[in-house]
Amino acid sequence: MSQLKTLEQARNEFNYRGESVTGWSRKHGFNPESVKKVLNGDSKCLRGNAHRIAVVLGIKHGVIVES
């Protein structure tokens, strides 16, 4: 398995790429407010969209199951 990123590393990547959280969210089909909650540590990311966001950001190992 690949190395997980910390929340700080995930947030810093946006600055490194010069990309906004809102732009990234829309590009990946997520609600920007949900992504911000994940990046701020306000979500446990156990299931649903928060889980998917965390996996795509690389801050959580997991599988994304499409329903």
Q: Is residue 50 part of a domain?
A: yes
Determine, yes or no, domain membership for 66. Answer: no
pLDDT of 61 > 80? The answer is yes
In a domain, 41, yes or no: yes
Does residue 43 fall inside a structural domain?
yes
- Number of compact structural domains in the chain: 1
The reply to whether 62 falls in a domain is no
Tokens 């990547």, residue? 13
30 lies in some domain: yes
Range of the domain at 45: 7-57
Residue 66 is predicted with a pLDDT of 81
Torsion of CA 66, 58, 33, 50, to 10 degrees: 50
pTM, rounded to two decimals: 0.93
Distance CA 64, CA 21 (A): 20
In whole angstroms, what is the distance from residue 14 CA to residue 24 CA? 9
d(CA 67, CA 62): 16
pLDDT tens for residues 14-53? 999 999 999 999 999 999 999 999 999 999 999 999 999 9
